[in-house]
RNA sequence: UCCCCAGUAGCUCAGUUGGCAGAGCGAGUGGCUGUUAACCACUAAGUCCGCGGUUCGAGUCCGUGCUGGGGAGCCA
């Protein structure tokens, strides 16, 4: 006899005798001579109703069960006599594993997201956050499955890096230097005496590593944490977040866009099909339009437009934007939202951006002023994916590095890839938390990562 | 980093012109009922975010700091 998880029991076709269920009490309702106890074991959104009769020897203790207490129940799964659930469990014995005191912060009522953030260690015990983190797990699995079905290899790119990759934002330094008494040379801190013999930092992207492996294994992807030390305070930024970064050899920008679109749709369909119970909760309590919005993503063809066309549409929109629009400037949040939410009302891919607003590794187009870059914008989230065809021509790459002031010596290994068997290749980065926000309707990124790290906040 | 808003019971909030600290929910106790965010009654529960100021008197007005939220920038 072993423990059976609730999600399995609730799918049962027949009654079952002499089973064991373990979980946490969500609520207790007493009758004159018996109690209903709803327990949840995290295996699914649904609770299992336990019927505990006064004939149980520890019934007095059972009547004191509080929300949050842990129990083990031995008994029979029977068809429920009441309405509201198909199955319930008739307890033949109920062991109180631990009793939660009445100071347990989670009450039998809805809490605000702001309050739950202050008890992030307990929030996965709520219906909503349980659902968020089950979906997070399912999405991770779906991503691996998507790539595996297409012959991609999973690459573990380093977390600690010596190269100031691509200048994508502020870096967190990694050091063992004693700041009270740092080694110095010519008045400056001497990093040659630091742990790695040079400055090191947490990675902001696995892309450069992924490129090296794409040029060996063909199609690869990374999926891991990345770090930005930017003082960003918005609903869409955290200092530690997860990124999915595929990289493909023998692949141009348009095949790159194809993969991005295929992937977003695949993951959307996966969640619609595999997480329908959890999704119902979000549609009911978080975003009434979530399900139709996801179906729209799954079914519609993503609109693909040139950066120039996007600028034209924005110019002619008649909207009074706070920031003005002109070729050579990056699109602002308000512009992206207008395009994807109001104008096209579906995901939009914008490509061929001006080279000056994009990093050095993106491939220069023949017009000499734009690069083969693409962004996938989705309603409510904005930029979900950013990608490009990489500059595979050594001389062009070196020229771009000079323009942007990067030292070739630091990228000798990266440049080697363009010396030895270089080929056209492309890839993109997808912000995993933003994907979860999209799939669950959650509006704050802090609510889709277990323990969010943001400026001035690293509790838990 | 900039702009705006907020901070009162465990939670969500009200608090009038500056004049006795309040409600709902939750919790505890008792009752009732195959109940289901159960229901009914009673009870307990407060550094009104911190510091300073104005005033006979400050939850309320002023200054300042902290924390949280929203928007912007940076970006995924």
Domain with residue A32: its CATH number is 2.40.50.140
Any idea which nucleotide's C1' is nearest the CA of A30? B35
Residues 139-168 of A with CB under 7 A from strand B: 168
Domain boundary among A98, A113, A140: A98
A438, part of any domain = yes
Residue A235 CA and nucleotide B53 C1' are separated, in Å, by 37
Element (H, E) at A146: helix A127-149
A175, part of any domain = no
A192, part of any domain = no
| A49 CB inside 7 Å of strand B | yes
A199, part of any domain = no
Domain boundary among A98, A132, A153: A98
pLDDT at position A165:
52
A319, part of any domain = yes
Residue A181 CA and nucleotide B50 C1' are separated, in Å, by 35
Is the domain of A82 the same as that of A17?
yes
pLDDT at position A169:
64
| A101 CB inside 7 Å of strand B | no
Q: Where are the alpha helices (DSSP H) in A150-275?
A: 207-217, 253-274
Is the domain of A382 the same as that of A291?
yes
Q: A129-143: string of b/e by CB count within 10 Å (b at 16+)?
A: bbbbbbbbebbeebb
User: Helix, strand, coil: what percent of chain A each, to 5?
Assistant: 35, 25, 40
Q: A56 lies in which domain range?
A: 6-98
Is the domain of A246 the same as that of A369?
yes
pLDDT at position A404:
83
Residue A359 CA and nucleotide B16 C1' are separated, in Å, by 59
pLDDT at position A447:
95
| A64 CB inside 7 Å of strand B | yes
Is the domain of A345 the same as that of A209?
yes
Residue A107 CA and nucleotide B49 C1' are separated, in Å, by 24
Domain with residue A430: its CATH number is 3.30.930.10
Residue A277 CA and nucleotide B5 C1' are separated, in Å, by 36
Instruction: Give chain A's domain count.
Output: 2
Is the domain of A67 the same as that of A14?
yes
Nucleotides of strand B within 7 Å of the protein's CB atoms: 1-2, 10-13, 25-29, 31-38, 67-76
A142, part of any domain = yes
Structure letter (DSSP) for residue A56: S
Please give, one letter per residue, the 3-state secondary structure of A232-249. Answer: CCCCCCCCEEEEEEEEEE
Domain boundary among A81, A98, A115: A98
pLDDT at position A424:
97
Is the domain of A10 the same as that of A54?
yes
pLDDT at position A240:
95
Is the domain of A39 the same as that of A90?
yes
Any idea which nucleotide's C1' is nearest the CA of A242? B76
pLDDT at position A164:
58
Structure letter (DSSP) for residue A162: S
Any idea which nucleotide's C1' is nearest the CA of A31? B33
A118, part of any domain = no
Is the domain of A160 the same as that of A291?
yes
Any idea which nucleotide's C1' is nearest the CA of A81? B34
Instruction: Please state, in angstroms and rounded to a whole number, the distance separating the CA atoms of residues A42 and A40.
Output: 6
Residue A214 CA and nucleotide B25 C1' are separated, in Å, by 57
A61, part of any domain = yes
Is the domain of A64 the same as that of A144?
no
pLDDT per 10-residue tile (average), chain A, 460 residues: 91 94 93 91 94 91 92 94 90 93 88 94 94 96 98 96 65 89 89 90 92 96 94 91 97 97 97 94 91 94 94 85 78 88 93 91 94 93 93 95 86 94 96 95 95 90
Is the domain of A165 the same as that of A79?
no
Instruction: Please state, in angstroms and rounded to a whole number, the distance separating the CA atoms of residues A432 and A267.
Output: 11
Is the domain of A54 the same as that of A146?
no
Is the domain of A243 the same as that of A278?
yes
């Amino acid at each position: 006899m072993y423990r059976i998880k609730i999600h399995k029991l609730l799918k049962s076709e027949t009654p079952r005798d002499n089973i064991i269920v373990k979980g946490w009490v969500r609520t207790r309702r007493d009758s004159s001579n018996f109690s209903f106890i709803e327990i949840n074991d995290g295996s699914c959104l649904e609770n299992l109703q336990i019927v505990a009769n006064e004939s149980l020897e520890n019934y007095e203790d059972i009547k004191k069960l509080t929300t949050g207490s842990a129990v083990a129940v031995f008994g029979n799964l029977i068809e429920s006599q009441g309405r509201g659930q198909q199955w319930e469990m008739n307890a033949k014995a109920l062991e109180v594993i631990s009793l939660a005191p009445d100071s347990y912060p989670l009450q039998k009522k809805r809490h605000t997201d702001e309050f739950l953030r202050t008890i992030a260690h307990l929030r996965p015990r709520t219906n909503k956050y349980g659902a968020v983190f089950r979906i997070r797990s399912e999405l991770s699995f779906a991503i691996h499955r998507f790539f595996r079905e297409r012959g991609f290899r999973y690459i573990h790119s380093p977390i600690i890096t010596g190269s100031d990759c691509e200048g994508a934002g502020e870096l967190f330094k990694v050091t063992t230097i004693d700041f009270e008494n740092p080694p110095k040379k010519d008045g400056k801190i001497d990093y040659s005496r630091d742990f790695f013999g040079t400055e090191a930092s947490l990675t902001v992207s696995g892309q450069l590593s992924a490129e090296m492996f794409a040029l060996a294994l063909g199609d690869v992807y990374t999926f891991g944490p990345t770090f930005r030390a930017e003082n960003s305070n918005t609903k869409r930024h955290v200092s530690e977040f997860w990124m999915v970064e595929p990289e493909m050899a023998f692949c141009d920008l348009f095949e790159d866009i194809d993969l991005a679109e295929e992937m977003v749709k695949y993951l959307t369909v996966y969640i619609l099909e595999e997480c329908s119970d959890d999704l119902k909760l979000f549609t009911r309590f978080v975003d009434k339009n979530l399900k139709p919005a996801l179906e729209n993503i799954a079914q519609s063809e993503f609109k693909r437009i040139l950066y120039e066309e996007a600028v034209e549409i924005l110019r002619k929109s008649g909207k009074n934007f706070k920031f003005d629009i002109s070729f050579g400037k990056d699109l602002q949040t308000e512009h992206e939202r207008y395009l994807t939410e109001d104008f096209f009302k579906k995901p939009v891919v914008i490509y061929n951006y001006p080279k000056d607003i994009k990093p050095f590794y993106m491939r220069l187009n023949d017009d000499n002023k734009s690069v083969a870059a693409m962004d996938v914008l989705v309603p409510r989230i904005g930029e979900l994916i950013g990608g490009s065809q990489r500059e595979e021509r050594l001389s062009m790459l070196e020229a771009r590095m000079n323009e942007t002031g990067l030292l070739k010596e630091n990228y000798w290994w990266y440049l080697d890839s363009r010396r030895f068997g270089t080929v056209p290749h492309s890839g993109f980065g997808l912000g995993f938390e933003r994907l979860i926000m999209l799939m669950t309707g959650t509006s704050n990124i802090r609510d889709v990562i277990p323990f969010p790290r943001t400026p001035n906040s690293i509790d838990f």
